[in-house]
Structure 1
Amino acid sequence: MANTNHVTTKWLGEMTFESTNPSNHTLRIDASPDDGGKGSGLRPKALMLSALAGCSGLDVASLIKKMKLDVDDFQIETIANLTDEHPKYYDAVTIEYHFYGSNLKEEKLQKAVDLSVEKYCGVMEMFRKFANLNIEILYHHK
């Protein structure tokens, strides 16, 4: 049998939903005030960007540990272009990997990112089906 994820998303009234995750954590989804919501939750399209960064980030963090790399800090900036026409979707996404530290091994960090982008990250593969992806790696030496 194929691996499946089951998520339950319950309407809490107005424009607010609560969505469960297979890990038993929940998150709140709400529309912006401009769209009739109260802005009390996460926006669905932005959540997709968080999923993309989180998926790749988990890969890279795991590889940093496996490769015993010295990284003080690491963050991913995900900048997406939304189409003008409905249904609006992301047609281009820039994913910036920012590494901070005094002993950054750039070649190995590049390899970690490449492995995530090209081999491991399933969310990245899903995004490839509808968006042009631009991967950038920035090293901030202390």
Structure 2
Amino acid sequence: MVKNIVSTVWTGKSHFETDNLSGHKLTMFDKSQDNGNTVGFAPKALMLSSLAGCSGLDVISLLEKMRAEVTNFKVIVTAELTDEHPKFYKNVKVDYHFTDSDLKPEKIQKAVNLSVTKYCGVMEMFRQFATVETEIYLHTLEK
């Protein structure tokens, strides 16, 4: 079993600095506080970025293997928090936007489905506490 360890340190106010397995660091903070010029992320929003990144990395890798590369690819995640504490995401929508002059819809659908159902561990974690819906959007470039 693989064990991952991160270290997160309070740096003052409502700021925490955390590292990851690559050794890089990022700042997290309470978005409801005045954070001045601090560049960082709110923890719950970072979860949504992790979901988009995990699935996006799968999809791009699969499309390359299928020889169905696209010019542009964007993942937009919209999530709804519960009203009561502890607040957590209960409904999550993941929109996959693909742009190219020669889109291959069947391969795109297959790559997204494989990410959503088989490869993306973050997606599986989200399904443990939220309803997750996905949708694919194809945008054709003029040749």
State the TM-score, normalizing by the size of structure 2. Answer: 0.94
Over 3 Å counting, the alpha-carbon distance change for 1:128 and 1:122 in structure 2 is same
Q: 8 Å contact 2:60–2:69 — kept in the other structure?
A: no
Runs of 4+ in structure 1 off by over 2 angstroms are none
CA-based RMSD: 1.0
1:80-138 Cα distance to aligned partner (Å, 9 max, x none): 00111111000000000000000000000000000000000000000000000110000
Residue 25 of structure 1 is matched in structure 2 by 24
Q: What's the secondary structure of 2:114's corresponding residue?
A: helix
- State the distance in 1 between where 2:34 and 2:9 align: 16
Residue 124 of structure 1 is matched in structure 2 by 123
State the TM-score, normalizing by the size of structure 1. Answer: 0.95
Q: What's the secondary structure of 1:88's corresponding residue?
A: coil
Residue 63 of structure 2 is matched in structure 1 by 64
Question: 1:11: Cα distance to partner?
Answer: 0.8
- State the distance in 2 between where 1:4 and 1:95 align: 28
Query: What is the identity, as a one-letter code, of the residue corresponding to 2:111?
Result: A
Q: How does 1:1-142 map to 2 (within 5 A)?
A: 2-32=1-31, 35-38=32-35, 40=38, 41-142=40-141
Q: What's the secondary structure of 1:3's corresponding residue?
A: coil
Percent identity over paired residues: 54
How many corresponding residue pairs? 139
